[in-house]
């Protein structure tokens, strides 16, 4: 018992490879009320394939051979104290990732006699590897219904104007790159899919895609390893390689894109190329640069666009770190377009010119250190950070990250800022 307890204190990932080549990462901790299992299936992001990949979890969640309807699956999970299976489609750089999550209550809290982990994992395994098949394809009625659902989600991007404006800016900016495709794919590709070609695509993908599985919670590593070997024993071929993401790009002339919809508020989005990859030496200076500019309420954008000029409720910047782009977004009165644009660009220029007070630098530094530390308080963030390391090829511990944040000086920030180039100005406004 004491040996087990001391391992629980380690709070780091133990890495294994299952016999079929799947990577397994176990993080034993007794901090949380739940145990989280998370499977990531990596695919290269391609414009014409994105919708196909995105449709997969929708169809898989409809049922398995053992529980052939969504309803039966849900009833089974509800009986396991509301165990939850969630699927997500992520876009990280030019990589599309299908995620399957199972979160169950730590059995300690519910005096469960049966094996809650094992039962939950069986559902997860069924969804992943044992779909309902008919006539050599997925069940056709499921595929047809889920195609509608996916198409509605793609069209539904427009419903939330705040995220719509940011996504549209990215699409315009990266229209010649695979990154320009929405994470759920293109509408026109959805029509062409059928249950047979989708099924064979899935079989291929499951067999050749790099797969990472995470287990986080109060678990015994050896027992878990054995359980995972037994559960995820599906056959796999050699995994394909992940292609690198295009990050470095010189901009000749910024492009202006305007879109008109029936809206009350104008949305101004500026897309920048940072020309810095996560693996580059200038990554942490870039992180700090983005922080000073717009990641916090003390940042230049919030202070100047909102607090001083009273032009907006939100004005912020964020990095898409795996693509090396930075986005500035603000919601403004239509007539204030010129004024807001000028103030925003002035803030970027002032960072490039090194007009950074020690208060701005230090507040940004401790702000990020705070964010790094609180990552440890959420199972999903712990997994997310490690996954980020796998994607970028820069795997670092909390201490290593903090050390590098601490090392950044004003001149480093300026050097990073000088690489940043405005690529696209996107303005969503009302109809004439």
Question: Which residues are near other proteins by CB under 8 A?
Answer: 31-34, 69-71, 74-75, 78-83, 103-105, 109-110, 145, 148-149, 152-153, 155-162, 261-265, 296-298, 306-307, 310-314, 331-333, 359, 362-363, 366-367, 369-370, 373-374, 376-379
Residue closer to other proteins, measured from CB, 247 or 410? 410
CA distance linking residue 30 with residue 4, whole number of Å:
11
The torsion angles phi and psi of 406, rounded to 5 degrees, stand at -65, -25
Least distance in angstroms from the C-beta of 253 to other proteins: 31
Residue closer to other proteins, measured from CB, 7 or 298? 298
DSSP labels, 14-26: EEEE-TTS-EEEE
Residue closer to other proteins, measured from CB, 176 or 359? 359
Retrieve residue 371's tokens. 């964010």
CA Rg value for the chain: 23
Place of tokens 């695919």: 43
DSSP 239: P
Least distance in angstroms from the C-beta of 83 to other proteins: 7
- CA 3 remoteness from chain centre: 36
The torsion angles phi and psi of 307, rounded to 5 degrees, stand at -65, -45
∠221-226-227 over CA atoms, to 5°?
A: 95
Residue closer to other proteins, measured from CB, 82 or 393? 82
Beta bridge partners of 101: 38, 86
CA distance linking residue 24 with residue 39, whole number of Å:
9
Least distance in angstroms from the C-beta of 421 to other proteins: 28
Residue closer to other proteins, measured from CB, 17 or 310? 310
Question: Cβ contacts of residue 230 below 8 Å, gap of 6+?
Answer: none
Retrieve residue 282's tokens. 């200038």
Residue closer to other proteins, measured from CB, 248 or 313? 313
Residue closer to other proteins, measured from CB, 133 or 366? 366
């Amino acid at each position: 018992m004491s040996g087990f307890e001391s391992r629980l204190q380690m709070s780091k990932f133990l890495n294994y490879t299952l016999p079929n080549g799947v990577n397994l990462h176990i993080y034993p901790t007794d901090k949380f009320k739940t145990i989280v299992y998370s499977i990531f299936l990596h695919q290269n992001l391609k414009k014409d394939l994105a919708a196909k990949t995105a449709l997969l979890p929708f169809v898989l969640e409809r049922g398995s051979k053992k529980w052939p309807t969504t309803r039966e699956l849900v009833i089974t999970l509800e009986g396991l104290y509301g165990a939850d299976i969630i699927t997500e489609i992520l876009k990280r750089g030019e990589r599309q990732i299908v995620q399957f999550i199972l979160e169950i209550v730590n059995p300690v809290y519910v005096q469960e006699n049966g094996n809650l982990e094992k039962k939950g994992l069986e559902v997860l395994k069924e969804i992943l590897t044992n779909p309902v098949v008919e006539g050599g394809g997925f069940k056709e009625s499921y595929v047809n219904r889920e195609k509608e659902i996916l198409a509605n989600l793609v069209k539904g991007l427009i419903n939330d104007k705040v995220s719509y404006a940011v996504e549209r800016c990215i699409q315009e900016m990266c229209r010649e790159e695979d990154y320009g495709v929405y994470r759920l794919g293109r509408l026109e590709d959805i029509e062409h899919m059928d249950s047979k070609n989708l099924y064979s695509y899935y079989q291929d993908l499951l067999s050749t895609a790099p797969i990472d599985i995470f287990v986080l919670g109060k678990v015994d590593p050896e027992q878990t390893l054995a359980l995972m070997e037994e559960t995820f024993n599906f056959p796999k071929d050699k995994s394909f390689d992940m292609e690198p993401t295009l990050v470095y790009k010189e901009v000749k002339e910024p492009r202006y894109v305007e879109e008109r919809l029936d809206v009350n508020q104008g949305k101004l989005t500026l897309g920048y190329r940072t020309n810095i990859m996560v693996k580059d030496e200038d990554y942490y200076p870039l992180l700090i640069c983005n922080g000073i500019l717009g990641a916090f309420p003390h940042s230049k954008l919030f202070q100047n666009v909102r607090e001083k000029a009273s032009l907006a409720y939100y004005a912020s910047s964020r990095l898409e770190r795996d693509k090396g782009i930075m986005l500035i977004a603000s919601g403004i009165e239509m007539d204030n377009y010129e004024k807001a644009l000028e103030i925003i660009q002035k803030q970027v220029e002032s960072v490039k010119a090194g007009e950074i007070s020690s208060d701005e630098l230090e507040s940004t530094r401790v702000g990020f250190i705070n964010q790094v530390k609180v990552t440890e308080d959420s199972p999903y963030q712990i997994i997310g950070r490690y996954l980020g390391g796998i994607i970028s090829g820069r795997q670092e511990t909390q201490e290593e990250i903090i050390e590098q944040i601490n090392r950044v000086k004003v001149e480093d920030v300026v050097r990073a800022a000088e690489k940043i180039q405005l690529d696209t100005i996107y303005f969503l406004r009302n109809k004439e």
